[in-house]
């Protein structure tokens, strides 16, 4: 009987140790931006359409938070999604490893959408997977979506790379 209790206790401990929470990041570059507007342009009409298609794409996805840099093009890319989900659009200025670790802790088990730029989205993805795997997107390339699920930043990352 003691052996049976010991085996049962070890099974419970193993289950607790190996049950890991998976947090998902959906990373998108801002949609097509207008040529005019200086360093903070609006979206082009096709960019507005892309933002709408992003909202439709994730209509059935349980999104728990939406983040964007504080530029019109990034905010306007994910603002329709945030509104459709009834979420506040959070702004960020940095997404270094420590910032991402805070997001994993704050939204453990959830799904976050992060809107950024051609150079920042690959950097965030690299931090999440723990290696330099993603290069900067081409200036005219607006259709990448990186879905990265992690148990911890830089650990056990699973990546799905989509085009929309």
Q: What is the pLDDT of residues 94-116, one digit of tens each?
A: 899 999 999 999 999 999 999 99
Higher pLDDT, 118 or 9: 118
* 97-106 helix and 120-129 helix, angle to the nearest 10 degrees: 70
Contact status, residue 92 vs residue 58, Cβ threshold 8 Å: no
Rounded Cα–Cα distance for residues 125 and 128 (Å): 5
pLDDT of residue 95: 92
Q: 2 pLDDT exceeds 90?
A: no
Long-range contacts from 128-131, C-beta under 8 angstroms, 24+ separation:
128/25, 128/100, 128/153, 128/154, 128/157, 129/154, 129/157, 129/159, 130/154, 130/155, 130/157
CB atoms within 10 A of CB 2: 6
pLDDT of residue 104: 95
Q: 19 pLDDT exceeds 80?
A: no
Q: So where are the chain's domains? A: 19-163
Predicted confidence (pLDDT) per residue in 27-83, tens digit: 999 999 998 889 999 999 999 999 999 999 999 999 999 999 999 999 999 999 999
Q: 8 pLDDT exceeds 60?
A: no
Fold of 19-163: Rossmann fold (3.40.50)
Higher pLDDT, 103 or 10: 103
Rounded Cα–Cα distance for residues 34 and 51 (Å): 14
Predicted confidence (pLDDT) per residue in 115-138, tens digit: 999 999 999 999 999 999 999 999
> Where are any strands of DSSP class E within 11-154?
23-29, 65-68, 89-91, 111-116, 144-150
């Amino acid at each position: 009987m003691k052996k049976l209790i010991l085996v049962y206790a070890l099974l419970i401990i193993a289950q607790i140790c190996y049950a890991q929470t998976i947090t998902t990041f959906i990373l998108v570059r801002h949609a097509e931006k207008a040529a005019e507007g200086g360093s903070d342009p609006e979206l082009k009409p096709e960019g507005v359409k892309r933002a709408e298609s992003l909202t439709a794409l994730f209509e059935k996805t349980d999104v728990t938070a939406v983040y964007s840099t504080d530029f019109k093009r990034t905010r306007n890319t994910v603002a329709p999604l945030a509104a459709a989900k009834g979420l506040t659009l959070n702004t960020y200025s940095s997404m270094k490893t420590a910032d991402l670790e805070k997001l994993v802790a704050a939204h453990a088990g959830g799904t976050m959408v992060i809107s950024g730029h051609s150079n920042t989205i690959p950097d965030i993805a690299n931090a999440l997977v723990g290696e330099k795997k993603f290069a900067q997107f081409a200036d005219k390339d607006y259709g990448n979506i990186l879905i990265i699920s992690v148990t911890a930043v830089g650990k056990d990352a699973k990546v799905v790379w989509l085009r929309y």
